[in-house]
Structure 1
Amino acid sequence: MVELIEIAPKVLGLKIDGKITEEDMKKVIAVCEDKMKAEERIAIYVEIVQMNGVTFSALKEDLKFALPNFKRFSRKAVVSDSKWHEPLIKIGDKLFPSIEIKHFNPEEREAAVKWVKE
């Protein structure tokens, strides 16, 4: 499940708790498209409570939208108490150098919000 969090006009805020479905992804993409109408580039704030995977249809929707638009994303803050995604962040830095990605622990939530809003 993905919950939308209001952070700032140029920031897409997400809270993930469970499995990400196609319905979740379509909701996220719709909000992202709205923000992109008003901003040239947007940032993403992701707070992971628990990640139980992504359905194939959700992944397909995400890639279909994200790949042609990846240069429109400036930063991504990932807040989680888990370190399993840090290697993915390093890979993402190499694949998408235009997007600055940084991991924060849950106690650094305020710093993550401040950083992603810069």
Structure 2
Amino acid sequence: MLTLIPFDDDRVVGARISGKMTRAEFDAVTSALEAALQKQPKVRFYAEMETFGGVSMDVLFQDLKFGLSHWKHFDRQAVVTDKDWMRRLSILADKLLPFIEVKVFSSDDTEAAKAWICET
């Protein structure tokens, strides 16, 4: 299940992810990101990862396609999680994608994560 989290900052798209992500949910996130890109040259993504039950191959392919076509349009990502494997994956992404600043926060630090993602 994916729920969009509203932000007052036009650069930020937020989502709470719990369980398996459907194609409709993925499409909702990409639509929100596309709308943000209509207003801003670079966007930021805030993700609260409670649990992650995976995605279908179709969604995975669409995610890769979207990511590859828009990688230059992201400058920050905040990941809020208490899952060690998600924390490690986010840290790896930060190293592999040096043009996108990725920072991981624990679920106790959601306010700090929201403040960081909106910093200038």
Q: Say yes or no: TM over 0.5.
A: yes
Partner of 1:17: 18
Partner of 1:78: 79
Partner of 2:69: 68
Gaps of 5+ in 2: none
Partner of 1:96: 97
Find out whether 1:3 has 2:9 as its counterpart.
Answer: no
Deviations 1:23-50 (A, max 9, x none): 1111111111000010011111000122
Gaps of 5+ in 1: none
Structure 1 CA distance, aligned partners of 2:93 and 2:18? 22
Deviations 1:45-80 (A, max 9, x none): 000122111111111111111112111111111111
Partner of 2:117: 116
Q: TM-score, normalised by structure 2?
A: 0.92
* Secondary structure, counterpart of 1:52 in structure 2: coil
Classify 1:17/1:113 alpha carbon distance in 2 versus 1 (closer, same or farther; 3 Å): same
Conservation of the 8 A alpha-carbon contact between 1:24 and 1:58: no
What amino acid is the match of 2:48? Answer: E
Structure 1 residue runs of 4 or more that deviate by more than 6 Å after TM superposition? none
Structure 1 position 94, deviation (Å): 2.9
- The Cα RMSD (Å) is 1.1
Structure 1 position 91, deviation (Å): 2.4
Structure 1 CA distance, aligned partners of 2:106 and 2:93? 19
Structure 2 CA distance, aligned partners of 1:117 and 1:34? 17
| Structure in which a larger fraction of residues adopt strand | 1
Deviations 1:86-109 (A, max 9, x none): 332232123211100111011100
What amino acid is the match of 2:3? Answer: E
Structure 2 CA distance, aligned partners of 1:3 and 1:16? 7
